[in-house]
Structure 1
Amino acid sequence: MNITTEPSCEIEGLSISVVVYWPDPTQFAQTLDSLAAAVAAFRAVTLAAPIDLYIVDNGGLPDVCVALDKFRSHGFSCTIIAGHGNVGYGRGHNLAIERSASRYHLVLNPDIDLDCDALIKALNFFEAHPDVGLLTPQIGDDQGHIQYLCRRYPTLLDLFVRGFLPARVRWFFSRRLARYEMRDVINEHDVVWDPPIVSGCFMLFRTSVLKELAGFDPRYFLYFEDYDLSLRTHDVARIAYLPAVRVVHHGGGASRKGSAHIRMFATSAFQFFSRFGWKLL
């Protein structure tokens, strides 16, 4: 599929929400710099399309005045939402989604770097495919490899093996994990329609779809809120994996973040499977 670099004139605004909780200051500044470049490139071909950035401070927001000045210098709106405490990832984004009046809304992690033309290609794809409500990009790692973050519906064994077993043991489950991670269809070239689950580190929505779904389920504090939202999106719109849109993700898994994250992971997994159905093996 050929994707032009200039979206149609019908695009009517973009809002972006970034939820932070004691982010790495250097990485967060890098994310904002790459976002500013991508948004500026988008604005260059969409002229007066309004751009609204919401930074939701769940705690520990570093000084981002320099980065935000770059946004404001282009005429973009920047709002810091603070004072609510650590309400969790999904509820944090919902605070921004409730305020959004844009045509498109980007849910973004504070550890993502965007290619300069990422937003141009993504929004142009939306304009060409009105049935698409959610787009996920090609997500790379620090070494330039694809992170396979589109997923089929998980089993408990899939989650345990991928999240908690050491690499030398995971090798014995490589075929199983490859299927879960959709390695048979996810690549650098082909659009994949309707992957069951996509990553919350970069979710670009039609805002109308996101509003219809009432955003993230606030009952998830952290983990699986993106699984839940992905599955619910299929009820109202199509999802597309678009490899022409490229980002780099610097994040890590729950098992590498300590026991508190493992507990939150287990709690959210229980809630997810209780809602959508248990699969053990």
Structure 2
Amino acid sequence: MNVKSVPPSEIEGLSVSVVVYRPDLARLVSTLDSFRVACDKLRDARPAFPVELYLIDNGGLPDLHAVRQELHAHGIACRVVTGHGNVGYGRGHNLAIEQTERQYHLVLNPDIDLESDALVRALDFFDANPSLGLLSPRIGDERGQLQYLCRRYPTLLDLGVRGFLPAGARRLFTRRLARYEMRDLINDNDTVWDPPIVSGCFMLFRTSVLKKLRGFDERYFLYFEDYDLSLRTHDASRIVYAPIVRVRHHGGDAAKKGSAHIRMFAASACKFFSRFGWKWL
């Protein structure tokens, strides 16, 4: 998609929203540093390309004055959105989505490190594919191993096995989980069009599509808001898994985060299945 075809309501450039709640400072700074480096590469490829970062403070955001100054020195406008309390993940991102007028918007977790060329490769892919509305990258773990975060539509059994069974018991369901995690299609090299569900840790949208969908459904406080948004995106545009775009993810696993997260996971799962249809086995 070239600049001439951008709707008049949109302005060339990229906006990014990062929602934080009592973040690990070192991890957040690492994410922002990797983002700054990726923006430097982007500017080499697209001089004067505007980038805006929204830090959504759902509570406990530490003083990032030095980090924000560094971002500003590299041409990244950084806005802190605060005072709204802990409104949840999706609603937090919506605070930025409602404000942005940039052509592209990136939903980014505070536990993601971007490869230096990630933004260049992602926007080039959008330029080459006008029907594309949402791009999901190759997501690696802390060791660089591929995380299978694209999904087919889940059953309750899939969620229970993957989220809560010990590793030894999960081996009994290896084939089932492999299908759910699209291991037959997702790899380090092949572009996969229209995976049913992609991860919310890095969702790069054409903003016109995201605004048409009105962003995240705010009925989810945490968990499954990305499942919901992925399924709705298919009604508005195409989705792609593009492994030429690479990031690392340092989070996940609700079961290891304690009982409060398990309760939030279960509540959001009920909302998701009530909306899109229950599938048990």
The normalised TM-score by structure 2 is: 0.96
TM-fit CA distance, 1:189: 0.5
**d(CA) in 1 for partners of 2:111, 2:52:** 19
The CA RMSD measured in Å over matched residues stands at: 1.2
TM-fit CA distance, 1:164: 0.4
**d(CA) in 2 for partners of 1:165, 1:74:** 46
The answer to whether the 8 A contact 1:9-1:46 is kept is: no
What SS does the corresponding residue of 1:103 show, helix, strand or coil? Answer: strand
TM-fit CA distance, 1:239: 0.1
String of CA shifts for 1:107-126, please: whole Å, max 9, x gaps: 00000000000000000000
Counterpart amino acid of 2:211?
K
User: Counterpart of 1:188?
Assistant: 188
TM-fit CA distance, 1:45: 1.5
Matches within 5 A, 1:1-281: 12-281=12-281
The normalised TM-score by structure 1 is: 0.96
What SS does the corresponding residue of 1:130 show, helix, strand or coil? Answer: coil
The answer to whether the 8 A contact 1:8-1:124 is kept is: no
Q: After the TM superposition, which of the residue ranges 10-19 and 248-257 deviates more from structure 2?
A: 10-19
TM-fit CA distance, 1:184: 0.3
User: Counterpart of 1:4?
Assistant: none
What SS does the corresponding residue of 2:32 show, helix, strand or coil? Answer: helix
**d(CA) in 2 for partners of 1:256, 1:210:** 31
- Structure 2 stretches of 5 or more lacking a match? 7-11
Counterpart amino acid of 1:97?
I
**d(CA) in 2 for partners of 1:109, 1:173:** 29
**d(CA) in 1 for partners of 2:93, 2:71:** 20
The answer to whether the 8 A contact 1:107-1:201 is kept is: yes
**d(CA) in 1 for partners of 2:252, 2:207:** 28
**d(CA) in 1 for partners of 2:39, 2:17:** 13
**d(CA) in 1 for partners of 2:107, 2:43:** 19
The answer to whether the 8 A contact 2:27-2:110 is kept is: yes
TM-fit CA distance, 1:68: 1.4
Q: 1:212 to 1:8 in 2, by over 3 A?
A: closer
TM-fit CA distance, 1:182: 0.2
User: Counterpart of 2:9?
Assistant: none
- Structure 1 stretches of 5 or more lacking a match? 1-6
The answer to whether the 8 A contact 1:200-1:226 is kept is: yes
Counterpart amino acid of 1:72?
H
String of CA shifts for 1:138-173, please: whole Å, max 9, x gaps: 000011110000000000000000000010110000
Q: Percent identity?
A: 67
String of CA shifts for 1:37-64, please: whole Å, max 9, x gaps: 0011101221112111000000011222
User: Counterpart of 1:3?
Assistant: none
**d(CA) in 1 for partners of 2:94, 2:254:** 23
**d(CA) in 2 for partners of 1:138, 1:148:** 9
Q: Give the paired residue count.
A: 275
TM-fit CA distance, 1:75: 2.2
